[in-house]
Structure 1
Amino acid sequence: MDEILADILLRGYGGWNSRQALQVLHKIFPKDSAIQPSLVIVYFGGNDSVLPDHSCPGSHVPLPEYIENMRTIALHLKSLSEKTRVIFLTAPPVNCALMKEKLSADIAERRTMETCRKYAEACVELCKKIDVKCIDMWTAIQKRDDWLTSCFTDGIHFTAEGSQIIAEEILKVLEEADWEPSLNWKSLPIEFDYVGLN
């Protein structure tokens, strides 16, 4: 069996929003790095869309600022190299009843379907304007009939089923994109040819 060559670096910043990401963007993705990423998948919007809470003001980012933050992130990433590709993920839907049951009533009140929808739609529109591939998690998750009960562990975070939907959407973008070089896993370089076991 051939070994496909791809190094994947996963950066997860739990609870972060697009404003916080801007503060470290140049440290995580410096323009002067000798090696630049081929693909960056960016997800912000879920925390940005949380309704303001004066007792805990950290998460909410107003929609116009969110749009500008995402534009800045996209333009920086696209400027890293001619071969750096970017995919944005929109805010997903939420299950408010499950949030209330598993987390708290306060969290459920501050994360609403309506605000998530607005941030998701804004991300889709921005991506069209700046030529960035976008995976509309808001729509993709809700295509499944039982999404409310099968896609979330606590109303916010994905189960394996929810994650599978998004993984399939990412693979679809990679297969359909006309990027050169292609980032479809079937066309990635092979590190070593098959070596016999003699």
Structure 2
Amino acid sequence: MVGPQRPLFVLFGSSIVQFSYSEDGWGAMLADIYARKADILLRGYSGWTSRRALQVVDQVFPKDAAIQPSLVIVYFGGNDSMGPHSSGLGPHVPLPEYTENMRRIAIHLKSLSENTRIIFLSCPPVNEKIISERASSYSGIFSHLDRTNEACRRYSEACLEICREMDLKAIDLWTAIQKKDDWLTACFT
């Protein structure tokens, strides 16, 4: 290690975390704001669900690590909330399983250190029209993937409820994004 130890912020989640480092993404903004003050570590996995995250949470956040994160921002739910794929192989995670997975991820993260702060991001809304148009261009290859704003709302509410029960901080993306007048076209889908 070179120089003094700095706080470690970890972004842990699926695509929303991955895209946070795109131009003007929120992860890139955090890295800029905290330059030389904190290390920002990206652990974003494209297409991942809470089920897959639970399988690796011990490896990503080992309890015996010499340095534990000061802050972990967690996002899973967008892929989990998709409807079941006809093959059974899609990313869908049933709501009760998602709830339990998120609870277990939170328990693990809370056990790392009394100084580790945790923020969960709830499932964001989707523009169903754009999702449908994009899916139809693949209709010859894939069966229909069901992604609805209603499902996103249910998963968002489940995430927020877990955070209330466990006294964790949360950002309600589903509600916050829809407060923008142009959210259907300005926000990711």
* TM-score normalised to structure 1 length: 0.72
What is the alpha-carbon distance in structure 2 between the residues aligned to residue 148 and residue 124 of structure 1? 22
- 4+ long deviations beyond 4 Å: 105-109
Shift of 1:49: 0.5
Could you tell me which runs of 5 or more consecutive residues in structure 1 were left unpaired when the two chains were aligned: 156-198
What is the alpha-carbon distance in structure 2 between the residues aligned to residue 148 and residue 64 of structure 1? 28
Shift of 1:11: 1.1
Q: Say what the alpha-carbon RMSD is for the aligned residues.
A: 1.7
- After superposition, the C-alpha distances for 1:34-86 in whole angstroms (9 at most, x for unaligned) are 00000000000100001001325231111111011000000100110110011
The aligned residue for residue 128 of structure 1 is: 164
Instruction: State the AA in 2 paired with 1:84.
Output: T
- The answer to whether the Cα contact below 8 Å between 1:97 and 1:108 also exists between their aligned partners in 2 is no
* TM-score normalised to structure 2 length: 0.75
Within a 5 Å distance, the mapping from 1:107-186 to structure 2 comes to 110-152=146-188, 155=189
Instruction: State the AA in 2 paired with 1:122.
Output: A
Instruction: State the AA in 1 paired with 2:80.
Output: D
More contact order relative to length (CA 8 Å, sep ≥ 6): 1
SS at match of 1:9: strand
Aligned length: 151
The aligned residue for residue 42 of structure 2 is: 10
- The answer to whether the Cα contact below 8 Å between 2:85 and 2:144 also exists between their aligned partners in 1 is no
Point out the structure with the larger strand share: 2
The aligned residue for residue 71 of structure 1 is: 103
When residues 77 and 12 of structure 1 are mapped into structure 2, their CA distance, relative to the original with a 3 A threshold, is same
Q: Is 1:96 matched up with 2:128?
A: yes
Could you tell me which runs of 5 or more consecutive residues in structure 2 were left unpaired when the two chains were aligned: 1-34
Bigger Cα Rg: 1
What is the alpha-carbon distance in structure 1 between the residues aligned to residue 152 and residue 119 of structure 2? 19
The aligned residue for residue 19 of structure 1 is: 51
What is the alpha-carbon distance in structure 1 between the residues aligned to residue 144 and residue 58 of structure 2? 34
SS at match of 2:63: coil
What is the alpha-carbon distance in structure 1 between the residues aligned to residue 107 and residue 136 of structure 2? 37
What is the alpha-carbon distance in structure 2 between the residues aligned to residue 148 and residue 80 of structure 1? 38
When residues 103 and 53 of structure 1 are mapped into structure 2, their CA distance, relative to the original with a 3 A threshold, is closer
Shift of 1:4: 4.5
Shift of 1:26: 0.3
> In percent, how many aligned pairs have the same letter?
65
